[in-house]
Amino acid sequence: MKARYDLRTMLKPKSVAIIGASRNPDKVGHIILQNYLSAGYSGKLYPINPNADEILGLRAYKSVLDIKRDSIDLAVVAIPAELTPQALNDCGKAGIRNVVVVSGGFAEVGNGALQDKLKDICDKYGIAMIGPNCLGLMDTRSRIDTLFLPSYKISRPFIGRVSFVSQSGAVGSTILDIISSEGIGLSKFISYGNAVCVDEVDILEYLMADDETDVIVMYIEGIKRGKEFVEVARKLGKKKPVVILKAGRTDAGVTAAHSHTAALAGNYATQEAIFRQFGFTVAKDLDELLDYAKIFASDPEPKGNRVSIITNGGGTGVLTTDAVASSRSLVLSQLANETRAALAKTMPALVNVTNPLDLAGDADAKRYGDALTAVSADENTDILIVIALFQTPGADSKVAAELVHQKGDMDKPMVVISVGSDYTGLHKKILESGGVPVYESPSAAAKALEALFEYGRFRDRKP
């Protein structure tokens, strides 16, 4: 399938025109321009505003048609809906082939006719349009940022290898705000709104080939082109992990059907089945979406399903043991004799060398380090769950630093379970910015590890 649009140029533009850029700090066009400047975008910026000569220190133009000396790779349109067709037409005449329309006021409010006009103009000039009614694009490497959210209101994520696709702008901005605090580094953010031209199929196709993207996280409300979606999903699932949250899970609109099969194969069930068939990890809510995104972003594929648990709290160790044992695909490991011998040498007498390995409440960085060194080398262990309760006397920032250090040396997946408030939160940050995924409950950790294991199994499966 040949790509319909050139999304690469859209995300890596050398020059950007911002139509609707304004001197008024309350206007969307002002925020977008300001964000480009704040992000340190290194390409050329052209504010477009018929009533200004200069905005934020940049020369402003009355129309994109007035920019004679440069070709524009991307135009961002942030003006009222009724003025958008004219602006889009100007873009077409000026030879601009990539446009993001962030403005709302189209089909989502019943104004389908105006939306059709945009579509006609795009078709006429061969414009790839994202939107309307969307947040648009962010690329942490090219530093483009069409989001009209003031930077003080939303944390901008750091550079990473997870790309996030959201049909909805609201869900998109929420997740964008959270992922930086969850330690998930971002490659690209694409919010595509009404999907008049560029839709989820185009975006997935692009991200599948994008070598700055290792993990795709997706929130969708509907799929426009079913057959094409399947065609891309079939290839994509084998290539990169995809975590997907599809709204409309409880759609009760399944009408009376003729057969049992039709009644059982409702709309959501069908889509979920297709996602799973192609190896996508299906999240049921935003929490799960982030939990899964986090593990795919930071952990390697496990070689097997045997889990070893290291803890500084007995009770949490037992709860985690339960979560692992009741999971569909994970099992508890039996530590090998050599590992047990190594642990017997380094652990104090009160530590019972077994799985879960309870390091006791006074466990400090050294004890964690010794335990992790032995267990990560254990031949019967494929996955490590480390419980670090920072309320205990022994646990402090040195423990967090030791866990980060150990994780860096490890070729097995490792997650941390840490539950608590402010002091814990601080250490959670240290861990996550060091690439260690942290979960707040044993069940969330087990579910995420199960997803990681299942994806690996899917990827290795012969057809």
Partner 1 sequence: MLEYAQAKKVLDEYGIRSVESAYVGAADEAVAFSDGDRIVLKLISDKAVHKTKEGLVKLDLKGEDEISAAFRYLEDRGRKLRPYKILAQKMAESGVEIIIGGNTDAQFGRMLLIGLGGIYVETFKDVELRLCPITKADAKNMLESLRSGKVITHGGASTKMVANLLFSVSKLLIEHEEISELDLNPVIVREGSYDVVDIRMIK
Site string for partner 1, 187-226 (x = CB under 8 A): ------------------------------------x--x
251 near partner 1, rule: CB under 8 A: no
| Site for partner 1, residues 34 to 73, rule: CB under 8 A | none
In the complex, the smallest distance separating the C-beta of residue 278 from partner 1, rounded to whole angstroms, is: 9
With residue 46 as reference, give the H or E element that holds it: strand 44-48
83 binds partner 1 (CB under 8 A): no
Q: Does 126 bind partner 1 (CB under 8 A)?
A: no
Q: Report residue 109 CA to chain centroid gap.
A: 28
Shortest Cβ distance from residue 328 to partner 1 (Å)?
9
Establish if 265 lies at the interface with partner 1 (CB under 8 A). Answer: yes
Pick one of 24, 86, 277, 337: the residue that binds partner 1 (CB under 8 A): 277
The reply on whether position 261 binds partner 1 by CB under 8 A is yes
Stretch that binds partner 1, among 82-90, 192-200, 260-268, 425-433 (CB under 8 A): 260-268
User: How far apart (Å, rounded) are the C-alpha atoms in residues 33 and 415?
Assistant: 40
Q: Are 328 and 374 in contact (CB under 8 A)?
A: no
DSSP string, 373-433: HHHHT-TT-SEEEEE--TTSSS-SHHHHHHHHHHHHH-SS-EEEE---SHHHHHHHHHHHH
Radius of gyration of the chain measured on its C-alpha atoms: 25
Q: Which two tokens stand for residue 319?
A: 């709860």
Residue of 209, 273, 203 lying closest to 235 (CA atoms):
209
CB of 349 to partner 1, least distance (A): 44
Residues touching partner 1: how many (CB under 8 A)? 24
Q: Which is nearer to partner 1, 345 or 462 (CB)?
A: 462
**Contact 396/390 with Cβ under 8 angstroms?**
yes
Q: Helices then strands (H, E): number in the chain?
A: 16, 20
What is the C-alpha to C-alpha distance for residues 157 and 276, in angstroms, rounded to an integer?
29
How near is the Cβ of 265 to partner 1 at its closest, in Å?
Answer: 4
Name which of 241, 242, 265 is nearest 255 in CA terms.
Answer: 265
Binding of partner 1 at residue 153 (CB under 8 A)? no
**Smallest distance, partner 1 to C-beta of residue 241, A:** 17
Among 170, 264, 325, 344, binds partner 1 (CB under 8 A): 264
2 lines the binding site for partner 1 (CB under 8 A) = no
Q: Which residues bind partner 1 (CB under 8 A)?
A: 223, 226-227, 229-230, 257-265, 267, 269-271, 273-274, 277, 461-463
